[in-house]
Structure 1
Amino acid sequence: MPTDPVGRFLAALDPDHRDAVRARPRDEQERLAESWERELLADTDLDTLDELSPTAAEAEAARRVMESDTP
């Protein structure tokens, strides 16, 4: 299991988004990972999901970040 924020973010993404993020520059990957961490901390709905399934909460936060990053 990755311990750095970018690695954890990539692990939470679905395969298609994971490949797309890996193709981006490292600074952009870090920006997305920071957004993902903020989403995990800020959204109280994810707190409940995190209690049931931490992996599902991380995946949902990753989906939201990628959705908001799409123009």
Structure 2
Amino acid sequence: MPTDAVGRFLAALAPEKQEVVGARPREEQERLAAAWERELEADDELDTLDELSPPAAEAEAARRVLDRGID
């Protein structure tokens, strides 16, 4: 299991998104991973989901980051 923010972010993405984001420059991957971490920290709904299923919360936060057009 990845331990750095980018690796964890990429692991939380759907497989087809992993390839797209993984092909981008490292700086952009780091920016997206930072946005993902902020999403996980800031959203109370994700806290509840995280208690039930941490991987589901991480995947939902990753989806939100990409859906907002941050990608």
Structure 2 counterpart of 1:51: 51
Structure 1 counterpart of 2:40: 40
Structure 2 counterpart of 1:18: 18
Aligned residues: 71
Structure 2 counterpart of 1:8: 8
Deviation of the 1:69 alpha carbon: 2.1
Tell me, yes or no, if the aligned pair for 2:6 and 2:30 is still in contact at 8 Å: yes
TM-score (norm 2): 0.96
Structure 2 counterpart of 1:27: 27
Unaligned runs of at least 5 residues, structure 2: none
Deviation of the 1:70 alpha carbon: 5.8
The percentage of counterpart residues that share the same residue type is: 70
Provide the secondary structure at the position in 1 that maps to 2:50.
Answer: helix
Instruction: Deviation per CA, 1:10-66: give whole Å up to 9, x if none.
Output: 000001111000111000000000000000000000000000000000000000001
Give the Cα separation in 2 of the matches to 1:15 and 1:9: 12
Give the Cα separation in 1 of the matches to 2:63 and 2:25: 19
TM-score (norm 1): 0.96
